Amino acid sequence: MTSLPETTAPASAVIDTTTAKFRQDVLTASMDQLVLVDFWAPWCGPCKQLAPLLEKVVLESGGKVRLVKLNIDEHPQIPGQLGIQSIPAVIAFKGGQPVDGFMGAVPESQIKAFIEKHAGPVGPSPLEAMMEEAHALHEAGDATGASTLYGMVLQEQPDHVGALLGMAKLHLEEEDLEGARGFMAQIPEDKHTDPQVSVVQAAIDLKEQSAALGDLTEIEARVAANPQDHQARFDLALALAAHHQEDRATDELIEIVRRDRTWNDDGARKQLLQFFEVWGAMDDRSKAGRRKLSTVIFR
């Protein structure tokens, strides 16, 4: 069994600072580790591009680097003293002194090279390395191994979104909707709008809808008895998707679009788009479905 390495990035690896706290957060802290100061402002587009890349590489450094963010609009004194004239600007501090820096929204590879120049090689944090292994096991069909690793990550970080989503997916694949919902409920509220969270929630919602429809044969009989019963055909599509007959599910929804695009406020097309979201935009089922849908819409 994989054991959790002891070295992890500290909770304070990424912080915001002020003029009053700059000495403690940057100068004093840089006596023990490399500190990067990100000078930014809310109106700065390139700053928004750079920030997530900076945070990612810093968190992957396993505690070698600290990232301190300073809003120059609220705290102009420090950047003025350092001669910062344009942003984004990143200054590296070591031993209480600025030692290097760069400006502009540079790519992740350049950020990593900059950090390694002053702090040595960096890589994924121990938790993220474990997440990568868990994802690989999940993809390979080893649900037990993946579950064990996701659980170990959650022991260290109970609100780790990736691990919670991984556990929710495993339970969903086992048709355990209650278990899947339980892990989704532990995801922090401010993460509920993240695309990955939305996709898993959509998959759970789809399973719940399908479970309430009843026997597949009965729904097929309803459609056969009245091909114009769009609700029956819609229900059939949901049931087929739940039984992993995605191509047939796609065809039934497209048939509704072909017969009556306005039915249920374009509900068939909207449901098909939800299928694509759950399956993944680059999934072969989604790509084939989009081609079929385009043929009907733009005929």
Q: Mind listing the pLDDT tens digit for each residue in 55-68?
A: 988 888 878 899 99
Mean pLDDT of the chain: 89
For Cα atoms 205, 278, 246, give the angle at the middle one, nearest 5 degrees. Answer: 95
Residue 7 has pLDDT above 60, yes or no: no
**Catalytic member of 9, 47, 58, 254:** 47
Give residue 280's pLDDT: 82
Write the CA distances from 284 to 74, 117, 281, 288, 290, integer angstroms. 49, 42, 9, 6, 10
Residue 144 has pLDDT above 90, yes or no: yes
Give residue 233's pLDDT: 95
Rounded CA-CA distance 26/12 in Å is 12
201 is catalytic: no
Residue 191 has pLDDT above 90, yes or no: no
Residue 1 has pLDDT above 70, yes or no: no
Q: What is the CATH number of domain 126-189?
A: 1.25.40.10
| Parts of the chain belonging to CATH 1.25.40.10 | 126-189, 216-297
Residue 255 has pLDDT above 60, yes or no: yes
Contact residues for 193 (Cβ-Cβ < 8 A; gap 6+): none
Residue 211 has pLDDT above 90, yes or no: no
Percent of the chain with pLDDT over 70: 95
Can you give the C-alpha Rg of the chain in angstroms?
25
Give residue 10's pLDDT: 41
**Overall fold of domain 216-297:** 1.25.40
44 is catalytic: yes
Q: Tell me whether residue 177 is exposed, middle or buried, using C-beta atoms within 10 angstroms of its C-beta: 0 to 12, 13 to 18, 19 or more.
A: middle
The residue-averaged pLDDT of 143-151 equals 95
Which pLDDT band, with edges at 50, 70 and 90, does 126 fall under? Answer: confident
Which pLDDT band, with edges at 50, 70 and 90, does 121 fall under? Answer: confident
Residue 153 has pLDDT above 80, yes or no: yes
CA pseudo-torsion sign 200, 205, 210, 212: positive
Rounded CA-CA distance 110/126 in Å is 22
Give residue 123's pLDDT: 65
Residue 3 has pLDDT above 50, yes or no: no
| Parts of the chain belonging to CATH 3.40.30.10 | 14-119
**Overall fold of domain 14-119:** Glutaredoxin (3.40.30)
**Catalytic member of 14, 35, 44, 106:** 44
Residue 2 has pLDDT above 60, yes or no: no
Rounded CA-CA distance 227/241 in Å is 19
Give residue 185's pLDDT: 95
Residue 42 has pLDDT above 50, yes or no: yes
Rounded CA-CA distance 250/290 in Å is 9
For residue 55, the Cα-to-chain-centroid distance in whole angstroms is 15
Give residue 283's pLDDT: 86
The residue-averaged pLDDT of 20-35 equals 93
